Homo-oligomer: A and B are copies of this chain.
Amino acid sequence: MEDIKTVEIKEDILSRNNAGAQELRESLIRRKIFYLNVMSSPGSGKTTLITELVNRLKSTYRIGVIEADLDGAVDARTIARETGVKTVQINTAGACHITYQMSAESLEALGADGLDVIILENIGNLVCPAEFDTGSAKNLVLLSVPEGDDKPLKYPLMFEVASAVAITKTDVSGIFDFSAERAVKNIKKRNPSAPVFVTCAKTGEGLDALEAYIKSEIEKIKL
C-alpha cells in the first residue's frame, strides 16, 4: 500500500512538472530563445564541454549559462572565468534534480530575454534529472569513456530522453575498456533517433560536428 501511495504522489508531481515545463518551452521558443539542458553522471565533463561550446558560439549568439549543484559554486566560477558569459549558480540544497520551477526562476535570474542561447548544466546524476522536464528545447546527454559503454543499459530513461548524446573523454579510450561501437549500439537500443557525437574537449575531436548540430537546432528556433 505504501509503495502504491508513493508512486501516485510521484506521478502527480511529475505530471504537474511536465505541464509547467511544456508551457515554459513554448514560451521560450516563441521568444526565440534556445534552451539546452546538459545531463550526465558526476564528472563526465559537462563543465568542460559547455566551456568549449560557449567559446565557439559566443561570437555569434548572446549566451547565458545556468549551473545547478546540490551545494557550492565551483562550476559557475569556472564557466564565468573561462568564457566571460553571464552565469548563475543554483543550489538545490540536496535535491537530486531540477524542477521546471527552479528552471524558470534561474532563467529569470539570468535575464533570459536578453539572450539567444541558454545552457543549463543539470545536477550530475544519470537517474532523477531524466524524470524532470526542465522546459529545454533539447537535452544533450554525456557519456564519458571512464564510465563504461554499458551505462545506457543500466540507466535507460536518461538515454531515452536525450535529443543527442556526446561520448566524452575519448583521449583515454586506450586506457579504459570502452568501445565507442558498443556504446553507440547500447545508446541506439534506448534511442534509435538521437545523433551520437564522439568527442574530446582536450583534443577537439568531434567538437565541430557537435557545434554544427547545436547551431542547426538554434537556427530552427530563430527562423
Contact = CB atoms under 8 A, between A and B. Distances in A.
A209 interface: no
A157 interface: yes
A128 interface: yes
B43 A151 contact: yes
Contacts of A52: none
Given A13-B6, A172-B175, A69 B146 contact: no
Contact of A43 (B74, B131, B147): B147
Interface stretch (A28-36, A119-127, A133-141): A119-127
Contacts of A72: 153-154
Q: How many copies of the polypeptide does the oligomer hold?
A: 2
A18 interface: no
Most B CB atoms within 10 A — which of A3, A94, A144?
A: A94
Interface residues of A, number: 40
Contacts of A94: 127, 131, 156-157
A155 interface: yes
Interface of A: 2-3, 6, 9, 13, 16, 41-43, 69-72, 74-75, 94, 96, 101, 123-128, 131, 144, 146-148, 150-151, 153-157, 169, 171-172, 175
30 contacts: A2-B16, A3-B101, A6-B13, A41-B41, A41-B124, A42-B126, A42-B147, A42-B151, A42-B154, A42-B155, A43-B146, A43-B147, A43-B148, A43-B151, A70-B155, A70-B156, A70-B157, A71-B153, A71-B155, A72-B154, A74-B153, A75-B154, A96-B125, A96-B128, A125-B126, A125-B127, A128-B128, A144-B146, A146-B147, A146-B172
